[in-house]
Amino acid sequence: MGRKSVPLPLTALTRRRLLGGMGAAAVAVGVLPRMAEAQSKVVNVYNWDTYIGETTLEDFTAETGIQVRYDLFASNDELFAKLRQGNPGYDVIFPSNDYVERMIVAGMLEKLDHGRIPNMQHIDPAFADPAFDPGRQYSMPYMWGTIGIGYRKSVASPASWGDILDSAEYSGRISLLNDTSIIQVALKYLGYSANSRSKKEIDEAADLLIRAKPHIKAFAPDTGQDLLLSGEVDLAMEWNGDILQVMEEDDDLSYLVPKEGGLLWEDTMCIPKDAPNPDNAHTFINYILTPQVHASIATFIKYACPNKTALQYIPEEDRENPAIYPPREVIERSEVSIYKGEEIESLYEQALTRVLAA
């Protein structure tokens, strides 16, 4: 199999946590083979860290005879940049929803052959026809979740995004994510779409955040859950899986999606342009969508599974945990981020820059 990265336990690093600096580079060095190698029984996979089952890769090889070479990336930006200059040899990649559309527009993905992915029949109808990839022509769903508020139950009882964006009640005890998702949740609180294309609305969201800034302790680069666990903040805007991790360590912590709705995210499996082993890539994707396999991965990494048949194999305590599987009404109030074109995306980046510089 060559050198493979072994998934770390959940307590070590979550799916959205960055590896950081040279550590991230060191994990992947030497994993991807030269394109000239004989690769007829190999699939080259590029995935987030700690985002696969404990024995998934070994089980896939045992069943198919196809060896897995496994690289890790730490962010969608890193993934996009790596492939923008040409595919260095990957067969399967795991971009998030808005980056799928961005990569489609840039001509970076191969169309999938649905005839070679029969297990797509198990996909929950709610994930069968997403706005970012109508008809699932380029992507298959892997895991999904929300962005909401993690909080310390003994001192906080949030219900609205306004509790952290438009109130002094928890002044100095709040952390927000350090990316454009803060613009999107501010838009939700103001009654607009999280995918607004209006400069006026985006500017209004930025103004709200600038007014809130004196009450914010930190704009955290995906470390809000650590600040919450250590007691440095009582409320943290974060990815649900990251809050779930610290909830397991501290019974006083909880998570909710505010009444206005939150942000839904979805990670997918795609085949990049010029993949050297497209047949093996389809086999790998179809294997992951096998209900028992998909369920075992979701159970291990504690993220929500979009495979309706797989749910019967997932522990009841996970299925009934609203921090993993939010109620349908919460999903209906929430929005999936979509790629809005470079001109509009730049408005969000400019708004974020203005908030952070204020």
* Residues 72 and 105: beta-carbon distance below 8 Å: no
pLDDT of residue 50: 81
pLDDT of residue 248: 87
Distances (CA, A) of 130 to 112, 164, 257, 271, 356: 15, 30, 21, 17, 32
Helix pair 181-189, 199-212: axis angle to 10 deg? 100
Q: Where are the domains of the chain?
A: 21-144+265-319, 145-264+326-357
pLDDT of residue 273: 98
pLDDT of residue 213: 97
- Among candidates 122, 145, 71, which has minimal Cα distance to 336? 145
Q: Of how many residues is the chain composed?
A: 358
Intrachain domains 21-144+265-319 and 145-264+326-357 with the same fold: yes
* Type of residue found at 195: N
Task: Point out which residues pair with 265 in neighbouring strands.
Answer: 145
* Residues 234 and 305: beta-carbon distance below 8 Å: no
pLDDT tens, residue order, the chain (358 aa):
222 233 333 333 444 443 333 333 333 334 454 444 444 799 999 998 889 999 999 999 999 999 999 999 877 888 998 999 999 999 999 999 999 999 999 999 999 999 999 999 999 998 999 989 999 999 999 999 999 999 999 999 999 999 999 999 999 999 999 889 999 999 999 999 999 999 999 999 999 999 999 999 999 877 899 999 999 999 999 989 889 889 989 999 999 999 999 999 999 999 999 999 999 999 999 999 999 999 999 999 888 999 999 999 999 999 999 989 998 899 899 998 889 998 999 999 999 999 999 9
Q: What is the CATH number of domain 145-264+326-357?
A: 3.40.190.10
Report d(CA 69, CA 89) in Å as an integer.
11
Report d(CA 227, CA 236) in Å as an integer.
8
- Among candidates 316, 303, 317, which has minimal Cα distance to 145? 303
Task: Point out which residues pair with 151 in neighbouring strands.
Answer: 235, 254
CATH architecture of residue range(s) 21-144+265-319: 3-Layer(aba) Sandwich (3.40)
Report d(CA 9, CA 50) in Å as an integer.
7
- C-alpha 216 chain-centroid distance: 24
Helices (H) and strands (E) in the chain, counts: 14, 10
**Other Cβ atoms closer than 10 A to 272:** 25
pLDDT of residue 84: 92
Q: What is the pLDDT of residues 77-93, one digit of tens each?
A: 889 989 999 999 999 99
* Residues 4 and 70: beta-carbon distance below 8 Å: yes
* Residues 247 and 10: beta-carbon distance below 8 Å: no
* Type of residue found at 356: L
Helix (H, G, I), strand (E, B) or coil at 96: strand
Q: What is the pLDDT of residues 24-79, one digit of tens each?
A: 333 333 445 444 444 479 999 999 888 999 999 999 999 999 999 999 987 788 89
Its pTM surpasses 0.85: no
Helix (H, G, I), strand (E, B) or coil at 89: coil
pLDDT of residue 63: 97
pLDDT of residue 264: 92
Q: What is the CA radius of gyration of the chain?
A: 20
- The DSSP line for 173-200 is -EEEESSTHHHHHHHHHTTS-TT---HH
